[in-house]
Amino acid sequence: MIAGILSVIGAAICLVFGLIFPWMKVPIIVGLCYGLAALGVAVLMRAGQVSFGHAMYSCIAGYTVAFFARAYPALDGLLLVAAGVVAAVVAGAIIGLFVVRYREIFFGMLNLALSMVLYSVLGKFYEITGGTDGLRLERPPFAGFHFDRSGYETALLVTALLASLVLGALVQRYFGSAAGEALAGIKTNETRLEYLGMSARRILWSGYMISAALCGLAGALVVLLQGLVTPELGYWVRSGEFVFIAILGGSAHALGAFIGAVVFQVIQLVGTMLLAGTWKMLLGATLILVILVAPTGITGVLPIKRWGKSREPKISLQPIAGER
């Protein structure tokens, strides 16, 4: 309940700030997209697997949006986003089939390798993908309206906020459902899960597709905002940033990804505006601090019991009455 109220208040604050200070719309939308992508990574982190290549789904969605927008300029922005997400999910389904056989470091590395293959291919085939310059797209109509730049950004802001609220709530429900608990079971003890009659691979595969969809949505929105997609969207450092935000926020609650995104954006803003050119240092220092002090992230540290059902089993050191 509290998480829900907090989310809505947060969304309202974002909207108000975006309207009062027009320059803030872009960083807020970008922050929300980072949050969505980190949510995708957090879904997999629930299963104890960290993917270092999920930026490739943002990239796939982004390029899909760009291809369609250039081929059919009259297509509505919402349709483009849908197309991007579908592409990301399809890719996630296909790639997921292979990738879910791996665990731990190898899972991460295979995802990394695949994202680097995509990155290299996109950067090289100049004729088709625009190479390292990327692809530009003109501002499409959005929800049936032809906005000017300012209205377009507002429309994207509203869309991003709605998407974040709805998807955050849905993912949190997913975590609480049987499928979500099974996903967490992969982390705790996969063998036991298999003995219960569930296919760990299939569970992980469905979680993978969900995470691909979330990353894809983030990528599609960002590309619509910028009007440009470059292979950099799929670079491994971008995936690392998603993981960073997911860790920062913690995977205990869906809201964590967005809290992490807010902190991330603040650090970036402070780093670029106040201490010019040191934002990477601040990011790195924060990451190290979080891992040393609070490896379960912000939501792992806050009293999450009051936010929903407790996830961590209580280990009691008291002997059961009657035993020695």
Partner 1 sequence: MNLDLLPLALADGFSYAGLLFLVALGLTLIFGVMGILNVAHGAMYAFGGYAAASLVQAIVNRGGEVPSVVLVLALFVAAIVVGVVLGCLLEIGLLRRVQDKDPVLQLLITFGAFLILDDVQLLIWGGTPYSASEITGRLGTIELFGATFTAYQLVFIPLVALLAYGTLQYFLRYTRVGRQVVAVTHNAEVATALGIHAKRIRLVTFIVGAILGALGGALSVPNTSLVPGVGTDMIVLSFSVVATAGLGQITGALIAALMIGMARSLAVYTFPEFEVVVPYLIMVLVLLIRPYGLFTVAQARKI
Partner 2 sequence: MLKKAPAKVLCSLAVIAVCNSFSSLAWAQTSKPTTLPLGITTFLTGSASVFGIPGKAAAELWIEEFNAKGGLDGVKLSPVFIDEGLGGDKFLSEYRRVAQDAGEKVMLAAISSGNCNTVAPVAEDLKVLDVMWDCGTEKILEDRRYKYVVRTQANAVTEMVATVVYLLKTKPDFKTIAVINQDYAWGRDSWEIFRNALLSLKPDTKIVAELFPKFGAVDFSTEITRLQALKPDVILSTSWGGDLDTFARQASQRGLTKQSLLVLPLAESSLERLGTALPDGVIVGARGDHYFLHPETKNDPKHKEFVEKFRARTGSYPIYPVYHMVAALEGVVAGYQAAIKKNNGQWPTTDQVAAEMHSLKFRGLTRPVQMREDGQGLEDQLLGVTKKVSEYPFPVLDKIMIVPATAVTPPIGEKSPEWVKKLKPDLLTNDQIKTFDYGG
List residues binding partner 2 (CB under 8 A): 12, 15-16, 19-20, 22-23, 26, 30, 123-124, 126, 131-134, 136, 138-139, 149-150, 226-230, 232-233
Nearer CB in complex with partner 2: 2/12 = 12
110 touches which of partner 2, partner 1, none (CB within 5 to 8 A by kind)? partner 1
C-beta of 19: minimal distance to partner 2 in Å? 4
Interaction between residue 116 and partner 1 (CB under 8 A):
yes
Interaction between residue 70 and partner 1 (CB under 8 A):
no
Interaction between residue 120 and partner 1 (CB under 8 A):
yes
Smallest CA-to-CA distance from 148 within 156, 157, 139 is with: 139
Is residue 15 classed as helix, strand or coil in its secondary structure?
Answer: helix
Smallest CA-to-CA distance from 44 within 103, 128, 85 is with: 103
Interaction between residue 288 and partner 1 (CB under 8 A):
yes
C-beta of 241: minimal distance to partner 2 in Å? 12
Interaction between residue 145 and partner 1 (CB under 8 A):
no
Candidate residues 66, 85, 114, 212; the one interacting with partner 1 per rule CB under 8 A:
114
Token output for 5: 């109220």
Candidate residues 73, 104, 170, 176; the one interacting with partner 1 per rule CB under 8 A:
104
Nearer CB in complex with partner 2: 273/292 = 273
Which residue matches tokens 């996109």?
122
Asked if residues 118 and 126 have their Cβ atoms less than 8 Å apart, the reply is no
Interaction between residue 38 and partner 1 (CB under 8 A):
no
Candidate residues 31, 62, 96, 123; the one interacting with partner 1 per rule CB under 8 A:
123
Find the helix or strand (DSSP H, E) in which 116 lies.
helix 104-124
Distance of alpha carbon 147 from alpha carbon 167, whole angstroms: 26
Interaction between residue 128 and partner 1 (CB under 8 A):
no
Distance of alpha carbon 10 from alpha carbon 19, whole angstroms: 14
- Write down the H helix ranges in 189-294: 190-195, 200-226, 236-249, 255-269, 279-293
Q: CB neighbours of 227 closer than 8 A, spacing ≥ 6?
A: 136, 137, 138, 139
Distance of alpha carbon 277 from alpha carbon 236, whole angstroms: 20
Q: Which residues of 232-265 are buried (b: 16+ CB within 10 A; e: fewer)?
A: ebbbbebbbbbbbbbbbbbbbbbbbbbbbbbbbb
Candidate residues 277, 303, 313, 319; the one interacting with partner 1 per rule CB under 8 A:
277
Q: Can you give the binding site for partner 1, defined by CB under 8 A?
A: 50, 98, 101-102, 104-106, 108-110, 112-114, 116-117, 120-121, 123-125, 236-237, 240, 243-244, 247, 277-281, 283-288, 291-292, 295
